[in-house]
Chains A and B, each alone.
Chain A
Amino acid sequence: GNSVTQMEGPVTLSEEAFLTINCTYTATGYPSLFWYVQYPGEGLQLLLKATKADDKGSNKGFEATYRKETTSFHLEKGSVQVSDSAVYFCALNTGNQFYFGTGTSLTVIP
């Protein structure tokens, strides 16, 4: 079946620290992979995506590379800011339905 596993949080970092949030997946076929971000009190916003193996998605300083050999799509940012505090969801889509991870809460302290 299809599923997404994210590292459990919460994650607390100091401003300007390096961020990695791990995400691995199980899928039939060739899924597209996504990271969504949910700021407090809001819905989910698409952060970045990759539609095939070795693609790198990037946005707002965040990056993730679609690694088929390790079935992973880890989210990284070189220098986090307080405004990056949110919940991050990894997701896959096989063309019929989205499957989301359980979310990783990130808090960045000044």
Chain B
Amino acid sequence: EAGVTQSPTHLIKTRGQQATLRCSPISGHTSVYWYQQALGLGLQFLLWYDEGEERNRGNFPPRFSGRQFPNYSSELNVNALELEDSALYLCASTQRGGDPMNYGYTFGSGTRLTVV
């Protein structure tokens, strides 16, 4: 069974540009979560999508947005990039039924975004 896949692995953008990150959950997982892992700051919750709808959002500005497609894959878009957006962006999904309390998350390997 394929795991959670994220693309691209690395992304370099210039300040002010837009970045698009992609995530494909494990087959059968309907919930997708996005986290930002900035150096020295741990994991910060960004967004949660389930069944195509945004269910919850972390404390990030509106220029961080995303969507979930009918096949449950997801995109994270970051507009007007700033230097401090440089981080590892992790996507995670949960098992059918979305019970993270029992099953936890399955994480992808992340996209390393560098803003110069």
Contacts and interface: CB of A to CB of B under 8 A. Distances in A.
A46 B106 contact: yes
Interface residues of B, number: 23
B45 A45 contact: no
Interface stretch (A17-25, A77-85, A100-108): A100-108
Interface of A: 31-32, 34, 36, 41-46, 49, 51, 89, 93-103
Contact of A34 (B56, B104, B110): B104
A93 B101 CA distance: 6
B43 A100 contact: yes
B42 interface: yes
B49 interface: no
B90 interface: yes
A110 to B, nearest CB: 27
A46 B41 CA distance: 20
Contacts of B8: none
A89 B43 contact: yes
A85 B13 CA distance: 31
A43 B109 contact: yes
Nearest to A48: B104
Given A42-B109, A43-B107, A98 B100 contact: yes
Contacts of A44: 43, 90, 92, 105, 107
Given A44-B90, A46-B106, A95 B42 contact: no
B48 interface: yes
Contacts of A93: 100-101, 104
A66 to B, nearest CB: 12
B43 A95 contact: no
Shortest Cβ-Cβ A-B pairs, 10 listed: A102-B42, A43-B107, A100-B43, A32-B101, A44-B107, A43-B109, A46-B104, A93-B100, A43-B108, A93-B101
